[in-house]
Structure 1
Amino acid sequence: MNYGRRFTRRIGPALTPALTIAALIAPVPGFAQQAIVVPRPLLSPAVVLPTLTDAQAALLATLIDRDSIAQGLQESATPRAVPLDRDALVRAALDHASAVHAGRLIEDDFQLEWGIRPPAYDPLPAFAAAVAGDRLASWIASLPPPYAGYDTLVAGLARYRALAAAGGWTALAGTDLKLAASGPAVAALRKRIAIEDAAFDATGDRYDTALAEAVRRAQQRYGLNPTGAAGTQTIAALNVPVEARIRQIMANMERWRWLPGVLPKNRIQVNIAAAVLTVFEGDTPVMSMKAVTGRPGAETPMLVSQIHSVVLNPPWNVPSSIANRELWPKEKAKPGYLKRNGFRIIDTGDGGKRLQQSSERSALGKFKFDFDNRFAVYLHDTPAQSGFAKFDRLSSHGCVRLEKPADLAKLLLKNTPEWSPDVIDATVEEGKTVRASMSDREAVYLLYWTAFANANGVVSFRNDPYRWDGTLASKIETRQARQALASL
């Protein structure tokens, strides 16, 4: 999946002017409407706002109506608008711009693990220039994040809203359906699969090879084991209501707004929810591998940093939280456990003790990729390779374990002359702990995508293991309510 920068943006069909706006509709649960997040100075009565002509006012109101729906700022696809006076319309336009470009939260709304913040954004200068140049449509079109990954979600949102308007789907009652089965439960499954899979023929009531292939495609979209048989997990994924899928897409669109306006063309991206790492060179994916990310309760944080070095044969300096919760109790229950597993007890000098696991037995394997961050997480190898065979790979303590760390190390060190692939292999074989500093730092993005789409608007979904989608919706609604009260 290429989440790189887009090359073109389509503004959309011609618009019919109407002096209405959907930005102030009554709230509904889950991403109901945009919150007022314009920087406080812009809300001051002393600010001189651009003066709109009658034609500009009518066009702007309609543009915002349409765009608030397209950009997922409200759950309903039907505008419920109220007329606004001219100054209120201008302020609503600025609110809309901030919401689309930089999201709807303020600093205090972000929880600790959401270590990405949208850059500061003042929409007034560009808006004033658009009014002066009579370029309101192009200004509206320039507001969303400039990335193909965001645009494909916009298309996916429109598609799932169309499915909702057509009636969505009915929950399936059958389970454990597989090849050669037949009957009403299979007929219902065929109809359900066809709603999201236009290539599949829904007619009939037999579980034939065509249905098995369609089920595999669905399982791949949901991140499940593509067996082609519709078991409990598959039926549960198919039974998620279309309205919930719409809210899921909206949540991920909101997180896209937190990213900077330009991503480095060379970078590493980890999708935490899907447990996949992708390497980009020249904004094109050149390597992908499975990962193991943090389990619920030990979440892998969202963050942006730069990998500066690769540690070969790293020892593991055990975080005190893990030592206290897991390792010291094991030593108490079975004395000698720590020594048998390569742990050293190190005096901290202040009366305390910490644990370090030797490189020969290290839970970090042979490679550790270091980057500065306040969460003390990193990418690393692991001797527990069986975890990569699973489709649910959220089981780490918060760090990101990698399926092919040697390949990544050689790729990142390719421009560091002293660290040729042969030297890397020899050093790993020797077993000595060495830090290989990189000539070129590599940007790393740990991101949480529970919905992502391809260029055709086909959306893939993952579970929301950390419940961050729901938390985000609640925070947006809380922010909305506070701003509404403050405006009274």
Structure 2
Amino acid sequence: MMSFASRSLLLAALVAAAPSAAQVPVTPETAAPTPIPLVQPQLPLPTLSDAQRQELARLIAKDEVAQGLSRTPRSDLDRLDNASLARVALDHARAVHGGRLMPSDFQKDWGIRPTAYDPLPGFVDAVARDRLTTWVRSLPPPYQGYDALVEGLARYRKIVAAGGWPMLTVAPAYGSSGPAVGRLRERLAIEDPELTGTGDRFDAALLEGVRRAQRRYGLNPAGQVGAQTLAALNVPVEQRIQSILANLERWRWLPPTLDRRRVQVNIAAAVLTAFDGDRPIMSMRAVTGRPGNETPMLVSQISSIVINPPWNVPSSIATKELWPKERANPGYLKRNGFRVIDTGNGGKRLQQASEQSALGRFKFDFPNDFAVYLHDTPARSGFSKFDRLASHGCVRLEKPEDLAKLLMATTPDWQPEAIDAAVAAGKTVRAKMAEPVSVYLLYWSAFAGADGQVGFREDPYGWDGKLAATVERRSAAQALAAK
């Protein structure tokens, strides 16, 4: 189990570029919430003393706010009898520990599910030993990344309370002066405690502040305030909070512990990071699924690497893209190394030979229900872009050979020399790893860096809005059921 002090997840390598288009405000669902029944424990509920009831009501009212859940007024909690307050506490524990969603709320490509959790034994023990505060504090996910987002949520709520931030309509240039520069400085200072200087001149300090903001938003940190930077700065603070809330909920779906050797992909930022324990040991840019061909969230294990892999073309890609190209330009398939294979039932499928494979020289296999994997690509230009959501759902890697050698470090038969020789030979080989490595495909559109600053990426799949609206609806339903 990771210690609280050393918890870390995706705190490195998340400043790489992400989609550049401005976020579009999402309108929450307005359907009336359907009350959902509170949990009915099978074991007897503990009896709370008067002091414990007051303590528990105070803790729940405070913790709901801190964790980004809908707040139950303290006065409502104080009116509950012993059994009702205990059930509210158990429901709160489940929400903080594993999220608010019901199984039916998960989209298919949200392939991560929270583990089963029964808070009653811990609650009974906390009441018996009079340690309710310790119990409540133990409920959130045990990761520093989650804690940092909780702190970020509090900061952005203070920004709302202070009146939000101004909308910018003019993009001043470095070296210029005037009111527009002063408004830009004022806007940046709201999110950036490192910004120094005053006045209406676009000086070096303001230039660095613009670059820091561009890095936080996944834009090209050139320091020029163009349309994309203005759009990112003008995203309402309420929408930034919605993004934080959605990402806090996703953190609650993760397993209570993460494997020491693991590979993590931030789908929204198109970045891969390899970890050894809490230490990031490799990072690279990736290309993830374009909207409409979303890369799913999932957890699995890489157990083998295919060297010089052929590409067995998914039927959807063949139907939509390759067969039309052949009809429009006969001979296209042969020129690009595709074989037409009879499936035996009157159908045909396509396979691209390893010499010309779109998968490049490395394919990292892991079992999943979405037929996605990590792989090399001969198309290298995509990695220089800041908008790197362009694949059909699989994850293309900037440095696949480096990753292959890292993952094979504990496999005696597949040390770097053997990998190099297999690649040079050109034959397809499946290299089995001595120790499987866990892989996490995650969708982080809001995350906190090592400096505590919250970075944001566009919500390219629209998942933040859907998730935040569902959490809001479920929280409201639970509040109705508690009354």
TM-score (norm: length of structure 1): 0.90
Q: 1:384 aligns with which of 371, 379, 383?
A: 379
In the alignment, is the contact (CA less than 8 A) between 2:311 and 2:354 conserved in 1? yes
* Secondary structure class of the residue paired with 1:213: helix
The correspondence of residues 305-344 of structure 1 with structure 2, limited to 5 A, is 305-344=300-339
Partner residue in 1 for 2:148: 152
1:358: Cα distance to partner? 0.7
Task: For 2:5, give the aligned amino acid.
Answer: F
Task: For 1:52, give the aligned amino acid.
Answer: L
Q: 1:129 aligns with which of 119, 125, 146?
A: 125
Partner residue in 2 for 1:414: 409
In the alignment, is the contact (CA less than 8 A) between 1:331 and 1:337 conserved in 2? yes
The correspondence of residues 452-471 of structure 1 with structure 2, limited to 5 A, is 452-471=447-466
Partner residue in 1 for 2:103: 107
Distance 2:180 2:269 in 1: 30
* Secondary structure class of the residue paired with 1:360: helix
Partner residue in 1 for 2:357: 362
Distance 2:56 2:310 in 1: 60
Partner residue in 1 for 2:51: 55
The correspondence of residues 27-106 of structure 1 with structure 2, limited to 5 A, is 40-42=39-41, 48-74=44-70, 81-82=75-76, 83-86=78-81, 87-106=83-102
1:37: Cα distance to partner? 7.5
The correspondence of residues 274-313 of structure 1 with structure 2, limited to 5 A, is 274-313=269-308
RMSD: 2.2
Partner residue in 2 for 1:6: 4
Task: For 1:273, give the aligned amino acid.
Answer: A
1:397: Cα distance to partner? 0.2
1:183: Cα distance to partner? 1.4
In the alignment, is the contact (CA less than 8 A) between 2:46 and 2:127 conserved in 1? yes
1:95: Cα distance to partner? 1.0
Distance 1:356 1:330 in 2: 15
Distance 1:408 1:463 in 2: 27
**1:446 has 2:444 as partner:** no
Distance 2:154 2:45 in 1: 33
Partner residue in 1 for 2:21: none
1:484: Cα distance to partner? 6.4
1:15-71 per-position Cα deviation (integer Å, ceiling 9, x unaligned) = xxxxxxxxxxxxx9689xx998888442xxx75211111100001000011100111
Distance 1:410 1:139 in 2: 43
Q: 1:210 aligns with which of 196, 205, 213?
A: 205
1:192-222 per-position Cα deviation (integer Å, ceiling 9, x unaligned) = 0111111213521121221111100000000
1:315-355 per-position Cα deviation (integer Å, ceiling 9, x unaligned) = 10000000001000111111111111111100001110000
> Which fold has the larger relative contact order, with Cα–Cα distance below 8 Å and residues 6 or more apart in sequence?
2
Structure 2: state its 5+ residue gaps. Answer: 8-26
Q: 1:189 aligns with which of 184, 200, 203?
A: 184
Partner residue in 2 for 1:174: 170
1:178: Cα distance to partner? 2.0
In the alignment, is the contact (CA less than 8 A) between 2:38 and 2:87 conserved in 1? no
In the alignment, is the contact (CA less than 8 A) between 1:6 and 1:146 conserved in 2? yes
Percent identity, aligned pairs only? 65
**1:232 has 2:230 as partner:** no
Distance 2:367 2:242 in 1: 33
Task: For 2:114, give the aligned amino acid.
Answer: P
Task: For 1:383, give the aligned amino acid.
Answer: P
1:440: Cα distance to partner? 0.4
In the alignment, is the contact (CA less than 8 A) between 2:286 and 2:398 conserved in 1? yes
Distance 1:170 1:49 in 2: 51
Partner residue in 1 for 2:10: none
Partner residue in 2 for 1:254: 249
CA spacing shift, 1:81–1:403, aligned 2, 3 Å: farther
1:422: Cα distance to partner? 1.1
TM-score (norm: length of structure 2): 0.91
* Secondary structure class of the residue paired with 2:424: helix
* Secondary structure class of the residue paired with 1:418: helix
Distance 1:66 1:485 in 2: 19
Distance 1:477 1:35 in 2: 12
In the alignment, is the contact (CA less than 8 A) between 1:345 and 1:354 conserved in 2? yes
After TM superposition, the runs of 4+ consecutive aligned structure 1 residues lying more than 3 A away are 28-31, 34-41, 78-81, 477-488
CA spacing shift, 1:404–1:469, aligned 2, 3 Å: same
CA spacing shift, 1:247–1:79, aligned 2, 3 Å: farther
Distance 1:129 1:324 in 2: 59
* Secondary structure class of the residue paired with 2:365: strand
Matched pairs, number: 459
1:132-188 per-position Cα deviation (integer Å, ceiling 9, x unaligned) = 11000000000000011111111111111122222220111113x321222111111
1:301-327 per-position Cα deviation (integer Å, ceiling 9, x unaligned) = 000000010100101000000000100
Task: For 1:139, give the aligned amino acid.
Answer: W
Partner residue in 1 for 2:18: none
In the alignment, is the contact (CA less than 8 A) between 1:41 and 1:47 conserved in 2? no
In the alignment, is the contact (CA less than 8 A) between 1:94 and 1:124 conserved in 2? yes
In the alignment, is the contact (CA less than 8 A) between 2:84 and 2:482 conserved in 1? no
In the alignment, is the contact (CA less than 8 A) between 2:35 and 2:481 conserved in 1? no
Distance 1:135 1:367 in 2: 52
Distance 1:159 1:197 in 2: 11
**1:263 has 2:258 as partner:** yes
